[in-house]
Structure 1
Amino acid sequence: MTLTAVLAVGIFVLAYVFIATEKVHRVTAALAGAGLMALAGIVDAHSAFFAEETGVEWNVIFLLLGMMIIVSILKQTGLFQYLAIWAAKRARGRPYRLMVMLVLITAVLSPFLDNVTTVLLIAPVTVLVCRRLGLPIAPYLIAEALTSNIGGTATLIGDPPNIIIGTRAGLSFNDFLFNLAPIVVVLVGVFLLMCRWLFRDTLRRTPQHTEDLMDLDEREAITDPKMLVRCLVVLFAVVVAFALHSVFHLEPSIVALLGAGVMVLVSGTSSQQFLEEVEWSTLVFFMGLFVLVGGLVRTGVIERLGEAAISAVGGEYLLAATALLFGSAVLGAFVDNIPYVATMVPIVQGVVDAAPNPEQGKALWWAFALGADLGGNATAVAASANVVVLSIAARNGERISFWEFTKYGAIVTVVTVTLAWPYVWLRYFALG
């Protein structure tokens, strides 16, 4: 390893330690790390802002921005208050039943939106309903972030890494649905059972709050019915465009920005109103994180790690699939899974092309996707949805620390990745 690569690793580890220990705000740590990468000459303006493999993933940034604006406008209609009261009344104030309902909604939405959009839509509802019932917000938001990463694994557009894999490997929306949806359904069911144990200390009912809630009429929460109808039509069009990504050949970021622009027009809101809810600190954090990881990519650190893992398995494709599944989960836990996947895709492509059995070669893509997506639950910064949830919680006065999220996410990752391995083995090697 060159001196430059060692320096890049040192800067990344230092920034990551500050993010994990929360000695300084994560945005400060990410930007300081990115600045050190630039000062050391590891990255320059081109590699940080324009290069596809090492630069800021602008598709992710603008996808987040567009959906944050859409959510901000929807919030003004009273829709989230309506949904919060409706969900709480259907759950009759029972904390675990409420968690099951919110987790299932998240699991159903994630494959057809993306996991970030899903948590942006469901988190405001969660905050409101938890406050109505006097429940802690953090367990519900953490459960939704974890579910969004599991559910988003099922389709091409459900998790940003899948879009990268699908584009490079020529895999369609239906390919992902057919190959990954079955195991995702199982994993969501397992996660629902785990929630009862993981969050057992916080799932306590408050009878007084429940009685007060049952007297509320959710229809009174809608402040502007006509505006709501117009906005829901736009949101439906955005969802359809996401689902038909492979038909229209529009990047999700373009769809989100177009949807945000149209919703601004039909709602008539001012710039001050629709920019109010944008999580600017989250967007800046991702920019810094992308530059940090880009430094590792540019110096060849991530590529060497990937090549070492793949070369160690030789021609044993079950072993290669196993290494990709577990290795991606581990590596993706420490760097955001989007730049990690973008870096590893060419390496995996080379191994797949060399496979004598095309089906077993294709199995490597599914093992890779499962590892990267499910590994996104391992730490608070491993996936975009996690970072967004932490920001929403902080904005609403209930801070979720790096370690509070990670202690739950790491357990869920170990269980789900372990369950995914027999699925890959049975479907593509034992029975394939």
Structure 2
Amino acid sequence: MELTLALLALATVLAFALVRPRRLPEAVAAIPAAGLLIATGVVSVDDALTEVTRLLPVVGFLAAVLVLAKLCDDEGLFHSAGVAMARRSKGRPVRLLTTVFVIAAITTAVLSLDATVVLLTPVVLATARTLGLPSRPHAYATAHLANSASLLMPVSNLTNLLAFSAAGLTFAHFTALMTLPWLLVIAAEFVILRMYFRRELAAAPDGDVAPPPAETPVFVLVVLGLTLAGFAVTSLLDASPAWAALAGAVVLGVRALVRGHSTVRDIAASANVPFLAFVLCLGVVVAGVMHHGLDTAMRDVLPVGTSLPALLGIAAVAALLSNVVNNLPAVLVLLPLVAGAGPAAVLAVLIGVNVGPNLTYPGSLSNLLWRNVVQRERIPAPFLEFSRVGLATVPVTLVLGVVGLWASVEVFGV
């Protein structure tokens, strides 16, 4: 009975998050669901507090990164990126795709996948329109890179933050292990998407619009560079990297307020408190499912060990589970089960939950955000087409990512 109630609560929360009726925040369903499980004793108060306490540092880190990304947008970073894409592409579709890949991969790695979906994707689409180039190849590039290019650093994705906490690695060690998988996955995505959209990328531009020059936002780039260095330093000092993210956000926030580019209300809103509450409550709901049988069932399915076949199996299970229940619940379910096997198994889960969601819309919340963005821009992206593109990329990128991880572990150790 307890497991049934917990599964119903999880299904309700996920369904609400995927559909978001009337654009209500995900927390509208997650908070009552978590409260119901606590009130009925499916999750004890102590277990709920333990889960919330475990997730609080991760959620704090996420809030700081969200604010940092919004302030970078206010300072013109993404406008400057759009101008750079237009100038470097010179009206050639393949050159634009290459530039989009570079900028989207860096944006995702440094400012998280939300920045790529919400802030960069509209800029990419506007750039393609201005140059008279097909939008679909470049739109799908941002969708895929928001997921797969988030492998590099702990700050790139909420799933990374959770894995970073479970793996027990330093910021630098985590990034070193994931650099080769990141490069292999991005390279494979580029080759496959270029082949998949070869007809549209062969089209001649409809217009000849020269983009205006734009100033390079040097101050923002310097702050971001120092923030990244701060992530590594805080990790070495055994302090939370959230402090470095907070410092960067404070510097840009004060500058934005002084120059009138933002307000205190806008900065506070960019932290997306309802989504942070959703993450905490989702953790409580997943804990209810885990404590009443799912952990045993998943443990029977997961391969044991950290050999290459075992890592491939772990990543495949993680990818499949992500497309069934979304990657955030999937990582919450799987991390406790593989943490005892060591960092390599944890990072294999991460590859599965980051690359796997490119297969279906429900795979990640960023997919749904991206769908909303492209629909506003009147670009068709039906479910079947999204999945066809995913079928072309996910199997290859999943295998290459895990092979890269296995090679990195052999070189750097864990």
Please indicate, yes or no, whether the TM-score normalized by the shorter chain is above 0.5: yes
- 1:145 maps to a residue whose letter is A
Equivalent residue of 2:53, what SS? coil
1:196 alignment partner, one of 170, 194, 197: 194
Other-structure match for 2:53: 52
Matched, 1:346 2:336: yes
- 1:142 maps to a residue whose letter is Y
The number of aligned residues is 404
1:217 alignment partner, one of 181, 204, 212: 212
Cα distance in structure 1, aligned partners of 2:261 and 2:21: 31
- 2:396 maps to a residue whose letter is V
Tell me, which stretches of 5 or more residues in structure 2 are unaligned?
A: none
Bigger share in helix: 2
User: 1:390-429 residue pairs with structure 2 within 5 A?
Assistant: 390=371, 392-393=373-374, 405-409=386-390, 411-421=392-402
Residues 321-369 of structure 1: per-residue CA shift (max 9 Å, x gap): 343111111123344544543443332133x2xxxxxxxx654344233
Given that 1:157 and 1:243 are in contact with CA atoms closer than 8 Å, whether structure 2 keeps it comes out as: no
Cα distance in structure 1, aligned partners of 2:53 and 2:147: 24
Other-structure match for 2:311: 321
Other-structure match for 1:263: 252
Given that 1:321 and 1:367 are in contact with CA atoms closer than 8 Å, whether structure 2 keeps it comes out as: yes
Given the superposition, is the C-alpha separation of residues 166 and 276 from structure 1 closer, same or farther in structure 2, using an over 3 Å criterion? closer
- 1:296 maps to a residue whose letter is V
Given that 1:56 and 1:290 are in contact with CA atoms closer than 8 Å, whether structure 2 keeps it comes out as: no
Q: How many angstroms does 1:139 deviate by?
A: 4.5
| TM-score under structure 1 length normalisation | 0.74
Cα distance in structure 1, aligned partners of 2:14 and 2:286: 13
Other-structure match for 2:68: 67
Given the superposition, is the C-alpha separation of residues 411 and 281 from structure 1 closer, same or farther in structure 2, using an over 3 Å criterion? farther
- 2:284 maps to a residue whose letter is G
Report % sequence identity: 23
Other-structure match for 1:357: none
User: 1:25-104 residue pairs with structure 2 within 5 A?
Assistant: 25=22, 27=24, 31-32=28-29, 34-39=31-36, 41=39, 47=48, 51-52=52-53, 58-59=59-60, 61-75=62-76, 79-104=77-102
Matched, 1:233 2:222: yes
User: 1:288-299 residue pairs with structure 2 within 5 A?
Assistant: 288=278, 291-292=281-282, 294-299=284-289
Given that 2:147 and 2:358 are in contact with CA atoms closer than 8 Å, whether structure 1 keeps it comes out as: yes
Q: How many angstroms does 1:98 deviate by?
A: 0.7
Q: How many angstroms does 1:102 deviate by?
A: 0.9
Equivalent residue of 2:90, what SS? coil
Cα distance in structure 1, aligned partners of 2:262 and 2:403: 51
Cα distance in structure 2, aligned partners of 1:260 and 1:80: 17
Given the superposition, is the C-alpha separation of residues 146 and 248 from structure 1 closer, same or farther in structure 2, using an over 3 Å criterion? farther
User: 1:11-26 residue pairs with structure 2 within 5 A?
Assistant: 11-17=9-15, 22=19, 24-25=21-22
- 1:408 maps to a residue whose letter is V
Cα distance in structure 2, aligned partners of 1:166 and 1:36: 27
Equivalent residue of 2:52, what SS? coil
Q: How many angstroms does 1:306 deviate by?
A: 2.9
2:353 alignment partner, one of 358, 366, 372: 372
- 1:306 maps to a residue whose letter is M
Q: How many angstroms does 1:263 deviate by?
A: 1.4
- 1:66 maps to a residue whose letter is V
| TM-score under structure 2 length normalisation | 0.77
Cα distance in structure 1, aligned partners of 2:335 and 2:385: 31
Given that 1:371 and 1:417 are in contact with CA atoms closer than 8 Å, whether structure 2 keeps it comes out as: yes
Q: How many angstroms does 1:410 deviate by?
A: 5.2
Other-structure match for 1:242: 231
Given the superposition, is the C-alpha separation of residues 347 and 27 from structure 1 closer, same or farther in structure 2, using an over 3 Å criterion? same
Cα distance in structure 1, aligned partners of 2:78 and 2:146: 19
Cα distance in structure 2, aligned partners of 1:27 and 1:401: 23
Q: How many angstroms does 1:87 deviate by?
A: 1.6
Equivalent residue of 1:93, what SS? coil
Other-structure match for 1:307: 299
Given that 2:220 and 2:252 are in contact with CA atoms closer than 8 Å, whether structure 1 keeps it comes out as: yes
